Amino acid sequence: MSEHDDATTPHTPEQPPTAPRRAFERTHHGQTTSDPYAWMRDREDPELIAYLEAENSYADARTAHLEPLREKLFQEIKSRVQETDLSVPIGDGPWWYYGRTIEGQQYAVHARCPRPGPSAPRPALEPGEIPDGEQVLLDGNAAAAGHEFFSLGVLSVSPDHARLAAGIDLEGDERFDITITDIATGEILDQAITGAGYGGEFDNSGRYFFYVVVDDAWRPYQVWRHEVGTPREQDVKVYQEDDERFWLGLGGSRDDSHLVIDLATKTTTESWILPADQPLGDWRLVRERVDGVEYGIEIAGETILIVHNIRNREGDLAWTDLADPGEWLPIATSGPGERFLGVDAFDDFAVLTLRAEGLPTLRVLPRDAATESGFGEPLPWPGAGELTAVHLAENPEPATTELVITEESFIHPRATYAVQPLNGGRTLLKRQPVLGDFDPADYEESREWVQTVDGARIPVSIVRRAGLEPVGLAPGLLVGYGAYEISSDPYFSVARLSLLDRGVVYAVAHVRGGGELGRGWYEDGKLAAKTNTFTDFVAVADDLRGRWVHIDRLACEGGSAGGLLIGAALNLSPQSFRAAHAAVPFVDALTSMLDPDLPLTAGEWEEWGNPLADPAAYDTMAAYAPYDNVRATAYPAILATTSLHDTRVLVTEPAKWIARLREVATNDPVTRPILLHTEMSAGHGGRSGRYDAWREVAWEWAWLLDQLGAVETVH
């Protein structure tokens, strides 16, 4: 790398900054490419910080006229939220555990109150009511005091309910300092563990705490045992994963009998277990890893339930003996249109989590002593609606006779039910309150299908005000993700109502690369088939335009890997969109995948390919990576949002992308601006407090609504 080819161009906030260019070339597989913004990889470089701040000033100046709309959107969101509220109390041993929010405060208060016995009725508490005998476990507002960012990566109560481990991140870099306290007295027992990863578990005695450590590439790869109250130098490493493809997770069984280490790449898994009453013992392997074989375990008494893909890529359910897990015996297999995801065991039944017909749902397997496995055939779950997502909530007690589940859709707020799984009875425990004149009947949701260039049929969720007809006049927002087998499932959003009430058609493209239609849907949108994700998205966009949405009033939005989708779609078909919002976008994918020293890279090769070693993978990524394919054409108005402390998608990527767009695109900077906005005190998820998050959404959506000419409510 040479010295500066030029320096930051002086500018006023009303003029777009010009990023410095420095000569830099890279050569791989006989191909040499120029990357004049490669210098931005050092996020601590003062010149990069200056450039980001200049971009923020420019974005603020170009959007200053939107301040009244931003404030209006923020107030709309705030007015619909019951700010003082509490979650459904969940019983665990002698306590009811819950979270409370308080009007004017950014973060939740995690607390518990006494539970007289396992059959005691769940306390019926009004918002703002503090139950008798409440013990505050952690007040997020107190923990965050004096800091712009706050996040919890660990919140673990010991099995005897006496101790709390809380892991706190105050930077946004997803590294957590863990404090262990005596819950009854509030006494701090330990603060020795710093810079840990997500997750942590006590042994049964509460004397030992197991935690996760990350390597130099920020990959969780070690588990350590810490004796509470002792120096960290005395901690014992109990597991280390040397294969850089594997990430490590730490958890515990529902019955508190075992601690569990789960190891996973994008295609292969492995699990280790340790009796929780033998913290100094040896961890035991459930089944050795085999490339391409994925399995997930659930301990159920003296057996283990397993969801695996050995014979069926969409998943089977099996069981094995806890003492000798060598032979896996079948219980159930996924049928057409199904994908088995996991299983949870209880004393009287088990619950299978799966996808069916593109949506998440559940099935119950009753205990059956007449079967070798101890479980009967899965019972069908009652239909919940065309676009309703069903999820198992927190259910920590194996002896429970009821399940706490949630159901929600794009237009129906989340409802939490207590379900009698063996007879179908259900009781509504809480429906997410939406204040004001909200009525689900004022909105409509539907599933449509769009045929793409290779004949695949892409599901699309359409959400809009009731009565809005597909006559090609409305403004629209198309969102998508399409990676890692992650599904864009229906969820209710108070903030989204502000779009719908302005006549915006909100559409979700369930493109290949996601998991909506099973493992095959995912495999058809990764590696060499990755371009299917982008052509799917453009096909959906072009179907919406002129039918639901005015041909010149469609915006698009996606974050992280969904930001890569947005960047690639804009290069592929810039004329399909009026505006685009890319959040923490993975837009410099090829450069990142060529650098194994970066966070995530080695473990991501199974998703994107390894362009460092494989010329075909290099060619594939080089053909779609957004940064490398910016061209001299008119793009839509573009807003990229990012965070300085993001460790998943470095701020470098959107900064480089915007610099190249600014250099090459032929946009009119007045009618089609290209903007970069960086949160200087946040991580991958953006701002952390709820009021700050609402203001962030209001900032972004005010920009989109302005671009779409939809700033006024129409209902």
pLDDT digits 0-9 by tens, 507-521: 999 999 999 999 999
Q: Six-digit token pair at 6?
A: 């030029």
pLDDT category at 676 given cuts 50, 70, 90 is: very high
From the candidates 560, 576, 592, 643, which is the catalytic residue? 560
DSSP state, residue 597: T
Of 105, 149, 172, 75, residue with least CA distance to 698: 75
The crossing angle, in degrees rounded to 10, of helices 690-708 and 67-80 is: 130
Which amino acid, residue 486? I
* Residue-wise pLDDT tens digits, 61-78: 999 999 999 999 999 999
* Residue-wise pLDDT tens digits, 251-266: 999 999 999 999 999 9
Please give the Cα distance from 705 to 474 (Å, whole number). 12
* Residue-wise pLDDT tens digits, 451-497: 998 999 999 999 999 999 999 999 999 999 999 999 999 999 999 99
Please give the Cα distance from 185 to 668 (Å, whole number). 63
Q: Does 684 qualify as catalytic in the annotation?
A: yes
H or E element that contains 593: helix 589-593
Q: Does 437 qualify as catalytic in the annotation?
A: no
With left for phi above 0 and alpha for psi between -120 and 50, is residue 600 left, alpha or beta? left
Of 49, 42, 175, residue with least CA distance to 598: 42
* Residue-wise pLDDT tens digits, 151-173: 999 999 999 999 999 999 998 88
Q: Six-digit token pair at 360?
A: 């998440």
135 beta partners: 112
pLDDT category at 539 given cuts 50, 70, 90 is: very high
The DSSP line for 211-251 is EEEE-TT--EEEEEEEETTS-GGG-EEEEE---TT-EEEEE
Q: Six-digit token pair at 429?
A: 């425990």
Q: What mean pLDDT value characterizes the chain?
A: 94
- Mean pLDDT of the region 224-252: 97
The DSSP line for 139-157 is EHHHHHTT-S--EEEEEEE
SS (H, E, C) 47-75: HHHHHHHHHHHHHHHHCHHHHHHHHHHHH
Of 69, 79, 74, 63, residue with least CA distance to 713: 69
CB 570 within 8 A of CB 478: no
Question: Which pTM was predicted?
Answer: 0.94
From the candidates 510, 576, 684, 688, which is the catalytic residue? 684
All structural domains of the chain = 36-78+443-708 (3.40.50.1820), 294-433 (2.130.10.120)
* Residue 634: C-alpha distances to residues 37, 394, 571, 638, 662 (Å): 21, 49, 10, 11, 11
H or E element that contains 303: strand 303-308
H or E element that contains 182: strand 176-182
Long-range contacts of 534-537 (CB under 8 A, 24+ apart): 534/565, 534/568, 534/569, 534/572, 534/624, 535/452, 535/453, 535/454, 535/572, 536/452, 536/456, 536/458, 536/482, 536/509, 536/511, 536/512, 537/478, 537/480, 537/482, 537/509, 537/511, 537/565, 537/569
Q: Is the pLDDT of residue 214 over 70?
A: yes
From the candidates 550, 646, 677, 688, which is the catalytic residue? 646
* Residue-wise pLDDT tens digits, 520-531: 999 999 999 999
- Kindly tell me the sign of the dihedral angle through the C-alpha atoms of 559, 562, 564, 567: negative
CB 544 within 8 A of CB 478: yes
3-state class (DSSP) for residue 166: strand
